[in-house]
Amino acid sequence: MEALMESLFTNVDWTEIGWASWDTLVMVGMSLLFSVLIGLPVGVLLFLFGKRQLLEQPIAYAVLSFVVNVLRSVPFIILLIVMIPFTVMLIGTSLGVAGAIPPLVAGGAPFFARLVETSLREVDRGIIEATQAMGANVKQIVFGALLPEALPGIIAGITVTAITLVSYAAMSGVVGGGGLGDLAIRFGYQRFQTDVMVITVALLVIFVQLLQMAGDRLVLYFSRR
Amino acid sequence: MIVFDEVQKSYQVGGRAIPALHPTSMTIETGEVFGIVGHSGAGKSTLVRLINLLEPPTGGRILIDDENITGYNASELRAFRRKVGMIFQHFNLLSSKTVADNIAFPMKLAGIYSRTEIRDRVDELLQRVSLVDQANKYPSQLSGGQKQRVGIARALACRPTILLCDEATSALDPQTTQSVLRLLADINRELGLTIVLITHEMDVVRRVCDRVAVMDAGEVVEMGAVSDVFLHPKHPTTRDFVFESENIDREEMQQDLQHAKGRILRLTFRGESTYTPLLGSVARESGVDFSILSGRIDHIKDTPYGQLTLSLVGGDLDTAMQALEAADVHVEVLR
């Protein structure tokens, strides 16, 4: 078995693969955490400021929506490069695992914010009305009714965001980010080591599969409809 | 007591004001069950939402127990809303909360009840609406009638003095409708709660309401005691509703009347006179012959009533009519 692995994957350094996988995990995990921390409140505000919603604010909505759209319309590979000076300012380097996280958040947070806005819109207006009729203020409506009711949709949104971040994280290898993408580009692409390429791609596929499965389970668990 | 003083509501659509409720004045007494009946789009949903200011009026004043609620600031309004329960056509329960948590929700929002107070109140309400076994289920596991009972329990949680019902039985089958209406009537009687109920079914009004307002195109066109409005409708819209609820086809009725001979009368009995064996004795004494063209004997809330359309031939018609009127029967001459 070991001999077979040796002959098939001559170029593969398994320790290196292990570290790269770990780096990818850290990049996706950290950027997902910050994307949710930033995207969730932004999504809630987008919803509340929207037309005929609780805090209808056409100007605030337009501004917020514009910022989100700008970040979402820039292709991620360009965002990575454009963000370099800002990233250096923020954490001192644009390289490695840490350097990849700010652009990942810049790509992931607005994406997730839109998903949050959409899932909040899916909540039956009647439930908002009923909660209002009970004498709830906006904060109570958001935390007591809207977010719990939209939870399955928000979890599905986190799953989709996480998967998007996996591919973004791999892309960051192009500008010196770490992880499996970096490995794939440096060894698989630039040194024509097809076996490394195959392994990294396989690992990414497995990673995405696991995320989707976990996400689906959680959605099912929290769906009471 | 809920007083509407020249209350009106219009919506801005494309820069123009579209009236939803024309200036309306009326009074809903404390402890009564007040029905508002109308077709969809007649403005009844708007009217009921004005009472807890889910829709702010664009003119006029709404006084509840002599307090002008239209002048409330945001926190006064929230405190006021806790005293007004509301139930909905589609129940609007939180799907993410259990039955018990749904009922506890308004008390938690109020923030003035201790944990034990909430638990005791929820238990009490679960018993009141007969859902003790379902306490830990989620709304999706309940039937429509059960969901509405949860809605009622939830609406009662903070001990409101007014209960608003927005088409509360329209999504339910006839049997479930009956049980929900009975529950509402019990609540009204036992708790002395004022109930304002909107519906498009006259039958709902007939079963539980004391008084009724009929709405058409943003206006209250007729208002009064249910028995008066129901038995002697004046406005065409009201008549439509009454006929509809009695399954009367007007054209068919006209045809029947054409075939009948002699004088045609509609007799309305109310209360005890419904049970009095009157027709036979009147016929014997006056010598008229009668045939029954149509009729219905039923209840308006707790009062029995009968309404019969007769054709009378021969004998002394005037004596017959006098005898009927003397026996407290309302007589209308249709032909």
Please tell me the distance in Å from B97's CA to the nearest CA on chain A.
8
Chain A CB within 8 Å of residue B72 CB:
no
Instruction: Give B268-303 pLDDT, tens digit per residue.
Output: 888 877 787 888 888 888 888 888 888 888 888 888
- Do B206 and B270 belong to one domain? no
Chain A CB within 8 Å of residue B12 CB:
no
Instruction: Give A67-92 pLDDT, tens digit per residue.
Output: 999 999 999 989 888 989 998 988 88
- Do B254 and B219 belong to one domain? no
Instruction: State whether A140 and B110 contact (CB < 8 Å).
Output: no
Instruction: Give contacts of A134 with chain B, Cβ < 8 Å.
Output: 81-82, 105-106, 109, 158
List Cα–Cα distances, A214 to A66, A111, A161, A202, B290, in angstroms: 33, 20, 13, 18, 79
Instruction: State whether A127 and B92 contact (CB < 8 Å).
Output: yes
- Do B228 and B103 belong to one domain? yes
For residue B283, what pLDDT is reported?
85
**Region B60-64 average pLDDT:** 94
- Do B293 and B223 belong to one domain? no
Domains of chain A: 15-222 (1.10.3720.10)
- Do B52 and B173 belong to one domain? yes
| Partner-chain residue, chosen from B93, B95, B110, that has the shortest CB–CB distance to A135 | B110
- Using the 3D structure, point to which of B192, B212, B244 is the last residue of a domain: B244
- Using the 3D structure, point to which of B223, B244, B265 is the last residue of a domain: B244
* Angle (CA) B33 B166 A145, round 5°: 125
Instruction: Give contacts of B92 with chain A, Cβ < 8 Å.
Output: 124, 126-127, 129-130
Please tell me the distance in Å from A119's CA to the nearest CA on chain B.
14
- pLDDT band for A225, please (50, 70, 90 cuts): low
**Region A20-38 average pLDDT:** 94
Chain B CB within 8 Å of residue A41 CB:
no
Q: Which of B92-101, B140-149, B285-294 has the lowest mean pLDDT?
A: B285-294
- pLDDT band for B323, please (50, 70, 90 cuts): confident
Please list, in sequence order, all residues whose beta carbon lies within 8 angstroms of the beta carbon of residue B282, skipping any fewer than 6 positions away. B288, B320, B323, B324, B327
Question: What DSSP assignment string belongs to B30-52?
Answer: TT-EEEEEE-TTSSHHHHHHHHT
CA atoms within 13 A on the CB side of B202: 21
Interface test with B, best of A55, A134, A155 (most B CBs within 10 A): A134
Please list, in sequence order, all residues whose beta carbon lies within 8 angstroms of the beta carbon of residue A212, skipping any fewer than 6 positions away. A159, A163
Decide which of A99 and A190 is more confident. A99
Q: Which of A83-97, B150-164, B240-254 has the lowest mean pLDDT?
A: B240-254
A147 to chain B: closest CA residue = B96
Q: What is the CATH number for B7? A: 3.40.50.300
| Partner-chain residue, chosen from A129, A136, A222, that has the shortest CB–CB distance to B54 | A129
B50 to chain A: closest CA residue = A133
Domain span at B328:
250-333
Give chain B's domain count.
2
Instruction: State whether A137 and B78 contact (CB < 8 Å).
Output: yes
- Using the 3D structure, point to which of B209, B244, B279 is the last residue of a domain: B244
Instruction: Give contacts of B93 with chain A, Cβ < 8 Å.
Output: 127, 130
Instruction: Give A113-159 pLDDT, tens digit per residue.
Output: 999 999 999 999 999 999 999 999 999 999 999 999 999 999 999 99
Chain A CB within 8 Å of residue B96 CB:
yes
Q: Give the residue from B38, B2, B44 showing the smallest Cα distance to B162.
A: B2
Instruction: Give B20-46 pLDDT, tens digit per residue.
Output: 999 999 999 999 999 999 998 888 999
Give the gyration radius of chain B's Cα atoms: 24
- pLDDT band for B4, please (50, 70, 90 cuts): very high
- Do B140 and B168 belong to one domain? yes
Question: What DSSP assignment string belongs to A16-31?
Answer: HHHHHHHHHHHHHHHH
Chain B CB within 8 Å of residue A176 CB:
no
**Are residues A44 and A115 in contact, defined by beta-carbon separation less than 8 angstroms?**
no
Please tell me the distance in Å from A54's CA to the nearest CA on chain B.
12
- Do B237 and B257 belong to one domain? no
| Partner-chain residue, chosen from B81, B94, B108, that has the shortest CB–CB distance to A133 | B81
For residue A98, what pLDDT is reported?
87
pTM of the model: 0.88
Q: What is the CATH number for B295? A: 3.30.70.260
> What is the rounded average pLDDT for all residues in chain A?
90
Q: Which residues of A79-88 are buried (b: 16+ CB within 10 A; e: fewer)?
A: bbeebbeebe
Instruction: Give contacts of A138 with chain B, Cβ < 8 Å.
Output: none
| Partner-chain residue, chosen from A131, A140, A149, that has the shortest CB–CB distance to B95 | A149
Instruction: Give B45-55 pLDDT, tens digit per residue.
Output: 999 999 999 99
